[in-house]
């Protein structure tokens, strides 16, 4: 890309940082889907930002930052999975390709923030115990085994409760999104 004076243009560091911070939650969600560990996802995101700052002068325009970030996040996530024995083995490439396609499609339609808002609404409908389970599991990044120990419950009880809560949240999110679509169509 060239400026009006014919010189090559690139993205400045401030713009790059603003873009990555504006998309932090989305990137972290994407990375978490691959590494399946919140702490590792945070580490990978930090590495992606470091690489971005080192290479942002090679990125041609703001339009190419997000695809670059997702590609870099994918590569760094896979690298972290291979290097760290406590992380699960990397997903099959075909699954990652499908994940990328769906993530890009959701990004293009701005679907992710709408789904997150629907999930927030649905989280507010959970009773205290169920909400605590979800917050400990995902906010506290506790495994089912850790939850069982912490709450002094059998592991199977925790898994059954989480499955029931996931199902209820899924139904709630889908119905919330359907209502929003109906309201948009009627407006």
CATH code for position 137: 1.10.10.10
| Host domain of residue 167 | 110-187
- The band of 8, judged by pLDDT with boundaries at 50, 70 and 90, is very low
Contact indicator for 115, 173 with CB cutoff of 8 Å: yes
Same domain, 85 and 1: yes
Same domain, 102 and 32: yes
Q: Which residue has the tokens 């925790």?
A: 158
Same domain, 52 and 3: yes
Same domain, 118 and 151: yes
CATH code at position 80: 1.10.1740.10
Would you state the pLDDT for residue 64?
80
Same domain, 79 and 114: no
Q: Which residue has the tokens 């790059």?
A: 16
Q: Which helix (H) or strand (E) holds 136?
A: none
| Per-residue pLDDT at 4 exceeds 60 | no
Would you state the pLDDT for residue 6?
41
Q: Which of 49, 47, 63, 66 is nearest to 13 (CA)?
A: 49
Same domain, 125 and 175: yes
Boundary (domain end) residue, out of 54, 74, 109:
109
Local structure of 142: helix, strand or coil:
coil
- The band of 58, judged by pLDDT with boundaries at 50, 70 and 90, is confident
Boundary (domain end) residue, out of 109, 128, 145:
109
Q: Tens digits of per-residue pLDDT, 114-154?
A: 777 888 889 899 998 999 998 888 777 778 888 999 999 99
Would you state the pLDDT for residue 13?
84
Same domain, 103 and 15: yes
Contact indicator for 66, 11 with CB cutoff of 8 Å: no
Same domain, 146 and 95: no
Boundary (domain end) residue, out of 109, 130, 156:
109
Local structure of 175: helix, strand or coil:
helix
**How many domains is the chain built from?**
2
Would you state the pLDDT for residue 110?
65
Same domain, 169 and 79: no
Same domain, 51 and 98: yes
Same domain, 8 and 99: yes
Same domain, 171 and 181: yes
| Per-residue pLDDT at 88 exceeds 80 | no
* Residues in CB range of 40: below 8 A, 6 or more apart: 80, 84, 87
Q: Which residue has the tokens 């359907």?
A: 178
Would you state the pLDDT for residue 183?
79
- Per the prediction, the chain carries an average pLDDT of 82
Q: Which residue has the tokens 């099959």?
A: 92
């Amino acid at each position: 890309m060239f400026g009006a004076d014919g010189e090559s243009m690139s993205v400045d560091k401030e713009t790059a940082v603003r873009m990555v911070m504006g998309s932090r939650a989305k990137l972290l969600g994407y990375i978490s889907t691959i590494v399946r560990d919140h702490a590792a996802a945070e580490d990978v995101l930090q590495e992606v930002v470091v690489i971005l700052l080192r290479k942002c002068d090679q990125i041609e325009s703001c339009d190419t930052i997000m695809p670059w970030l997702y590609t870099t996040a994918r590569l760094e996530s896979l690298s972290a999975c291979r290097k760290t024995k406590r992380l699960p083995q990397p997903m099959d490439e075909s699954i990652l390709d499908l994940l990328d396609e769906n993530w890009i499609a959701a990004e293009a339609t701005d679907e992710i923030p709408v789904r997150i808002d629907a999930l927030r609404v649905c989280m507010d409908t959970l009773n205290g115990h169920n909400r605590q389970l979800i917050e400990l599991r995902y906010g506290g990044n506790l495994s089912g085994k850790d939850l069982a120990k912490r709450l002094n419950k059998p592991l199977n009880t925790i898994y059954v409760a989480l499955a029931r809560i996931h199902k209820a949240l899924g139904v709630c999110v889908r119905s919330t999104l359907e209502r929003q679509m109906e309201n948009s169509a009627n407006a």
